[in-house]
């Protein structure tokens, strides 16, 4: 069975004066251990699709199964537990907690697990080192550059070693060197650590690292909906 199975999914936002349907009757599968890159113009529904996969939003129609769970059917508390166990998420807008240092932001997902303070410290140190931010551990987000904040968000997504990583333009704010290092890190998550990765990117170079590129346009997949 596929790790991700999206069947006939439509997402409509009706809250605004005019209803918006960023995802329209979408079918999409991802296999365990795949590195899938999601591309498409701004507004084509990429972030909306990641939100549906992580259970941040619910589909208006259709079903979203991830690792055997019917994501849309989980209660809010079950969803929170499942996400803690299963998903590392790099948000497009980082979503760092402004009053916590880089170290403390990265530590947050570990607070939900049964770990000693020393075990947490070791994992946070490893994750910060992986994004080359050891020397910024005790800075607040507002004391970091945009690219550094993005790397903190990546460290937070990988620190708890969860099997499924969703990354929304994780290199969008990085210079070429940092972007290359980040892509190498993400590629190793899949190749060496067996993670499954879905990454949104506008960067054709970043997309070259993926096993498969899925092209979205106006909420529909125009290419690459499933593994060949
Ligand atoms: N909560 C919401 N309420 C109303 N409309 C929304 C909401 N979230 C997203 N949309 C709309 O859905 C469409 C798709 O948005 P989405 O964020 O998925 O695009 P995207 O492909 O990630 O674009 P970008 O490359 O700019 O990040 C847009 O037209 C957006 O305005
Ligand atoms: Mg987006």
For the cut 90, the answer to whether the pLDDT of residue 18 exceeds it is no
Mean pLDDT score, 189-211: 92
Predicted confidence (pLDDT) per residue in 103-159, tens digit: 999 999 999 899 999 999 999 999 999 999 999 999 999 999 999 999 999 999 999
| Total-model pTM | 0.93
Could you list the beta-strand ranges (E) of 145-204: 164-168, 196-200
User: In which band, very low, low, confident or very high, does the pLDDT at 228 lie, cut at 50, 70 and 90?
Assistant: low
Do residues 166 and 50 touch, judged by C-beta distance below 8 A?
A: yes
- Tell me: the pLDDT tens digits for 37-52? 999 999 999 999 999 9
User: Residue ranges per domain, the chain?
Assistant: 4-95+146-223
Rounded to the nearest angstrom, the distance between the alpha carbon of 96 and the centre of ligand 2 is 17
Q: Indicate the CATH number of 4-95+146-223 among 3.30.70.20, 3.40.1390.10, 3.40.50.300, 3.40.1000.10.
A: 3.40.50.300
* Ligand 2: centre distance to CA 92 (Å): 6
> Please, where are the H alpha helices in 23-108?
46-53, 76-86, 102-107
Ramachandran class of 70: left when φ > 0, alpha when ψ lies in -120 to 50, beta otherwise: beta
Ligand 1: which residues within 6 Å by Cβ? 13, 15-16, 20, 22, 40, 42-48, 92
């Amino acid at each position: 069975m596929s790790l991700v199975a999206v069947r006939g999914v439509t997402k409509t936002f009706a809250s605004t004066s005019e209803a918006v349907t960023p995802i329209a009757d979408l079918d999409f599968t991802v296999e365990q251990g795949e590195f899938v890159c999601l591309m498409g113009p701004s507004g084509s529904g990429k972030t909306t699709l990641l939100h549906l996969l992580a259970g941040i939003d619910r589909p208006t129609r259709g079903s979203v199964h991830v690792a055997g769970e019917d994501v849309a059917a989980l209660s809010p508390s079950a969803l929170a537990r499942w996400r803690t166990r299963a998903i590392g998420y790099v948000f497009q807008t980082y979503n760092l907690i402004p009053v916590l240092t880089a170290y403390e932001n990265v530590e947050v997902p570990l607070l939900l697990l049964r770990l000693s303070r020393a075990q947490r410290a070791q994992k946070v140190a490893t994750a910060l080192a992986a994004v080359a931010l050891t020397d910024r551990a005790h800075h607040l987000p507002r004391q970091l550059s945009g690219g550094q904040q993005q790397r903190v968000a990546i460290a937070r997504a990988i620190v708890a070693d969860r099997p499924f990583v969703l990354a929304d333009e994780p290199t969008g704010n990085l210079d070429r060197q940092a972007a290359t290092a980040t892509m190498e890190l993400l590629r190793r998550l899949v190749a060496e650590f067996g993670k499954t990765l879905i990454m949104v990117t506008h960067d054709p170079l970043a997309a070259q690292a993926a096993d498969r590129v899925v092209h979205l346009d106006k909420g529909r997949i125009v290419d690459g909906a499933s593994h060949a």
